[in-house]
Each structure stands twice: as C-alpha cells, then as structure tokens.
Amino acid sequence: MRMRESCQRLLKSNPELASAKNYVDLANSLLDLGIRKATDGQVYISNFNKKNQHRALQRCATTLYPESIQLFKKAKANLVKDPKAANSDALDAGLRTHECTTVIVFDNINVPGTIVDINNNVFFLGEIASYAASMLLK
C-alpha cells in the first residue's frame, strides 16, 4: 500500500482527530492514537515472535515498543505544561518504532509487511503528534 493511502486510513481510524478544535485537542488525539497503535504493534510483534524467535523481534517487542508507549504517555502528560518536552517525547516515540524497522532490516529478517506497516504508522503518528505539540510553542 502506498504511504499516502496508509496515512489517510490511519488518520481516518480516529474520528476524534476531525473534531479537534485546537492544537491541544489534536495533539492529545494523536498521542492517544499513538499509544493505542504502539500497544497493538507490541502485541502483534510479540505474537509473531513466539512462532519466529529472533533477537531483533524480541528487542522490538520488549524494549523498543514499550519505550515508544511510555514516550507517547509522557508526551501526553507534558503537553500543556511543557510542550517543548512533549514535542521531543512524541518524536522519540516514533523513532523507537523506526529503530525496530532498522534492526529487522539489519538482521535481514523476513517479516510480514504488516510489521513494517505498523512501525511506519507509529513513526508517522510520532511525527505528526510532535508537529502538533510544536504548534503550542508559538
């Protein structure tokens, strides 16, 4: 699936995004979606790794995705009182899943495209949540 279509489908999956009245609402909705998608991704990768044991997938499921989830939660907690920290935390949350893709590619693991799509979607959510948080700095 092309990236644009994937991004549109992802954003349409959360009706709260369309009803956001300001950047705080938008960022909160994006961060909530990031938490949900990262949690779903962690479960999916954990289940896949049970059948296809690999060190890189284990790292994704037990380190990188939990870190991503915690960073999304931290960004949400900091959003109003420290938007600069929220901006950085949201960006870092997405980067953790990008790192998951990197270790999979580096170790030359054959994984279903679903895992790459999940990683890309969570990375994208981190990017746009970071952007929304940065709008609170103005």
Structure tokens at 138: 């103005």
Residue-wise burial string across 51-89, b where 16 or more C-beta atoms lie within 10 A, e elsewhere: eeebebbebbbeebbebbbbbbbbbbebbeeebeebbbb
DSSP classification of residue 79? T
- For residue 15, pLDDT beyond 80: no
Alpha helices in the chain (DSSP H): 3-12, 23-51, 55-59, 65-78, 83-106, 113-134
Q: What is the pLDDT of residues 96-115, one digit of tens each?
A: 999 999 999 999 998 988 99
Structure confidence at residue 104 (pLDDT) = 95
Taking the domains of the chain in order of start, what are their residue ranges? 22-137
Q: What is the pLDDT of residues 24-80, one digit of tens each?
A: 999 999 999 999 999 999 999 999 999 989 999 999 999 999 999 999 999 999 999
Structure confidence at residue 16 (pLDDT) = 77
Query: What is 22-137's CATH superfamily?
Result: Invertase/pectin methylesterase inhibitor family protein (1.20.140.40)
